[in-house]
Structure 1
């Protein structure tokens, strides 16, 4: 069970970067008034994050071969992509927009990679609660990230922010 606890920590750990190396102020858009639907998605996202942190503590990793090994490989690829985006942020001058921009042709890599990672984790943990939580987290995290990316694009083009879609 101790190894399964590393699953969420390996993905959430880079977020500590924002505490010690916050984005440069010039790259941050203005604060927004969040719509009720935005707040709902954000709340569901945070609840699913908590479940993702807790579920592995009550689960065991199973690597019997077949699908589990493929899922573990996919997890490593997703984690590598995730760390690559964080490295781009750090070495790119801590520009907030880098957290939401495409990497190669992959849209929202900082939202897609943890979703794929946690889907893979649900298979190696043989955990239906983790699978359902990963899907919930992915849906809300990707939606919120898309709204934030669109808001950043609007800020750079002086248009009205899109927070209610």
Structure 2
């Protein structure tokens, strides 16, 4: 245990755009999800652990080449938030397919954390990302319009 500045940065970088929902709520409601409770608990545990674990675990040898995929996934995630804001704040856009990526607003944060685990040589971040993926991806897929992702 310890403190990781870069881990804190990664966690906050993924969390920060979610705060946009406070100031720019959806003009069209976010689809209601009827996900099983265990999946929702797993999703919440993954979200919490992805915010806390990177900051409270000391990184190993920093592998700077892995910072590039972290940044690419993060830029993609921010682009999806831009699509939401510029697309009239339609809540269903948070779950729509982008190019070949289904539910990118769920997939890209998982990719950010998995790449950050490699970047910071920290297997605990990978475990947190796996828990996030196990809950967040199916719950988001269930919330996607018509039960599936669209283009």
1:134 is aligned to: 129
1:92 is aligned to: 87
After superposition, what is the alpha-carbon deviation per residue over 1:23-66, rounded to whole angstroms, capped at 9, x for unaligned? 11xx226756x35xx211111111121111111222345565xx
Moved over 6 A (4+): none
* Secondary structure at the counterpart of residue 3 of structure 1: helix
Aligned length: 144
2:77 to 75, 79, 82: 82
RMSD of aligned residue pairs (Cα, Å): 1.9
Q: How does the TM-score come out when normalised to structure 1? A: 0.78
Q: How does the TM-score come out when normalised to structure 2? A: 0.85
2:38 is aligned to: 40
User: Gaps (5+ residues) in structure 2?
Assistant: none
User: Gaps (5+ residues) in structure 1?
Assistant: 155-165
Counterparts in 2 of 1:73 and 1:62: CA distance versus 1, 3 Å:
farther
Counterparts in 2 of 1:3 and 1:127: CA distance versus 1, 3 Å:
closer
* Secondary structure at the counterpart of residue 94 of structure 1: coil
Cα distance between partner residues in 2 of 1:29 and 1:95 = 8
Q: Say which structure, 1 or 2, has more relative contact order (CA 8 Å, 6+ apart).
A: 2
* Secondary structure at the counterpart of residue 14 of structure 2: helix
